[in-house]
Structure 1
Amino acid sequence: MHNRAQRARMPSSSGYILAAGATAAVLFFLLWWMLRSGGDEAPWVPAGLAASVVMLVAIAAREVVMRRAWTRYILEQRRREQIKAETSQRISSSGSSQSDRRSRTLDSYSAALRSVQKRCAEADAPGALPEAHLEAYLACQEYLEGADDALRSSSISSEMRIQLRAGQGRVRVLAKHHMLGWARTSSRALTHEAQQRFRMSDKIETARRALNVIDSALKLYPEESELKESETAIHEFVASVKVSHWVELAERASFKGNYSRAIDRYRDALFYLSREAIREETRVEMAERIGREIEMLRARLKMSKIAATPTVQD
């Protein structure tokens, strides 16, 4: 039955010619009937011409059509034979193939782990840029995601699960180390750059970039004390920049003898000091210093008003 089914699917040249002849005959009689019904005196002439054209086209295209049919047939046969061979091979060597796949999978993850460790070592090398820590962290995350996908599979062995979990533990430690390293080195570099800026807006903008770096790391490790201390230090730097700006304006006004304007500028400094997220002891210390300056200016303003008041003579 199987061989007969295969022979029935083989391309047949004679079958192709018979099909073309039948099509031409149907077309001939259909046109002949239509033309005769329309009153044509010689309906067989155009009907015969149309049928002849169909046969000529079919014969001319026979070689191309049959070649394509045989090509499809041969490819289909080869595909079936290949599937049968692969199936029998899997059945005969299922045990050994599964062990080989497990071995290859373990080797691939071991190689990936070594690659991650190498990149982490390069990031810790002297003179490495802060971005190297970030790249090492991303490599760790890629390994962890791949290991998670593998652990979700039900086809891996218990031995492989143990090795993957052990590798994940080591890589998680490396990931945290390099994320903190990137946050530390990048925030320090940006803070140093902010200190070198001249305009207040440039200082604050650069410091904000350092805060964004710290915030990115805090989202991953919110309980890390080093990150919290760095965040507080940068906030204090931003506060000092804003307060120093208004203090400088107050000192200029005081130098020019405009004590009322100087007092207003010191009050602006107190306003920004109260809004910034800094340590309370730092806030109190700066507020007390500004308060003393305001009291001194008030005393000077009072003395200047007294000096400007004309005395009444008896």
Structure 2
Amino acid sequence: MPSSTGYMIAAGAAAIALFFALWWMLVVGGDEAPWVPAGLAASVVLLVALSAREVVMRRAWTRYLLENSVPEGGTRVSSDKRNSSKKTYSTSLHVAALATIQKQSAAAETASAPDSHLDVFHLCQNYLESTEEAFRATNLPPQKRNALRAGQERVRTLGKHHLLTWARDSSRTLTHEAQKRVRVSDKIETANRAVECLDSALKIFPEEHELNESKLAIREFIASVRVAHWVELAERAAFKGHYRRAIDRYKDALFYLERESLKEDVRIAGEERIGREIEALRLRLKSRHKPRNE
């Protein structure tokens, strides 16, 4: 196809040549202002060239299309083909994504790290979001639409399974780690991380009985750690003869016993035991002051 730039250069060169030719002829003829008629003639040539440009380019474009056996509506047809190929590719991409999820799911079942289950869950979430966008953005035929719906159901089931597995295994690992820690603050911090794992899953599946039971068990562990800490401080104070301080420490233990999430029978048993210890310490205080009063 000819270049429009070359066409305009040729027209400009012709206009300049005409300008100087007329200018020289008028100068020789003794004209007082030879550049005026020469300039007008050159301008007319340029205007004619610009007017003819569209006709010339249109003919050249038509000839180019005919020589390459492409209809003039070829651009739109190509665009439609590209859009069609994008839709087909999108469906193929979802099929490949489903196969990848199933492969990762099988690998996660044999892996020892709980995070592998969380990775599969995120893959499932991405797949579900992508398929929903495909439903909104494209006019899929019923067969492909049904296939995507079936894929969504399988992925939802896999996603739930892997999220619950991750929450269960991660919370167990963190709870065992918390039990091995020496410092009370480390025990509580690690156990709270286990609760956070369970809470993440419960936000999506709040009715899961196993997760709620596990969360309650970890809460009881945290409460027992705090109560045991203050009971130990109370026992040390009592052993050293600091009975008033020991009573205060037992009261701190009662505070956490009443505040934390515990089963009612566990709470009652703890309160009764601490209550007996406080009464025993008060009796010791009274017996200590009797000789002084006498």
TM-score, normalisation: structure 2: 0.74
Match runs of 1:156-175 below 5 Å: 156-175=140-159
Match runs of 1:1-314 below 5 Å: 11-18=7-14, 81=65, 84=70, 87-88=73-74, 104-125=89-110, 127-306=111-290, 308-309=291-292, 311=294
Distance 1:280 1:83 in 2: 86
Q: Secondary structure at the match of 1:257?
A: coil
Q: Secondary structure at the match of 1:124?
A: helix
Aligned-pair identity in percent equals 48
Shift of 1:10: 5.9
Distance 1:159 1:166 in 2: 11
Q: Which amino acid is 1:13 matched to?
A: I
Q: Secondary structure at the match of 1:216?
A: helix
Shift of 1:215: 1.2
CA contact (8 A) 1:122 1:128 kept: no
Q: Which amino acid is 2:108 matched to?
A: A
Shift of 1:134: 0.6
Shift of 1:104: 4.9
TM-score, normalisation: structure 1: 0.70
Shift of 1:170: 0.8
Q: Which amino acid is 2:95 matched to?
A: S
Shift of 1:22: 9.5
Shift of 1:182: 0.8
Q: Which amino acid is 1:136 matched to?
A: V
Q: Say if 1:120 and 1:16 are closer, same or farther in 2 by CA, change over 3 A.
A: same
Q: Secondary structure at the match of 2:254?
A: helix
Q: CA RMSD in A?
A: 3.4
Distance 2:162 2:286 in 1: 60
CA contact (8 A) 2:87 2:138 kept: no
**Structure 2 residues not aligned, in runs of 5+:** 21-56
CA contact (8 A) 2:230 2:249 kept: yes
Q: Say if 1:8 and 1:276 are closer, same or farther in 2 by CA, change over 3 A.
A: closer
Bigger mean CA deviation after superposition, 178-187 or 274-283? 274-283
Q: Secondary structure at the match of 1:11?
A: helix
Distance 1:214 1:23 in 2: 89
Distance 2:13 2:114 in 1: 77
Shift of 1:101: 6.9
**Structure 1 residues not aligned, in runs of 5+:** 25-72
Q: Secondary structure at the match of 1:277?
A: coil
Counterpart for residue 36 of structure 1: none
Q: Say if 1:17 and 1:90 are closer, same or farther in 2 by CA, change over 3 A.
A: closer
Q: Secondary structure at the match of 2:7?
A: coil
Shift of 1:251: 0.4
Shift of 1:176: 0.6
Q: Which amino acid is 1:292 matched to?
A: R
Shift of 1:16: 2.6
Counterpart for residue 31 of structure 1: none
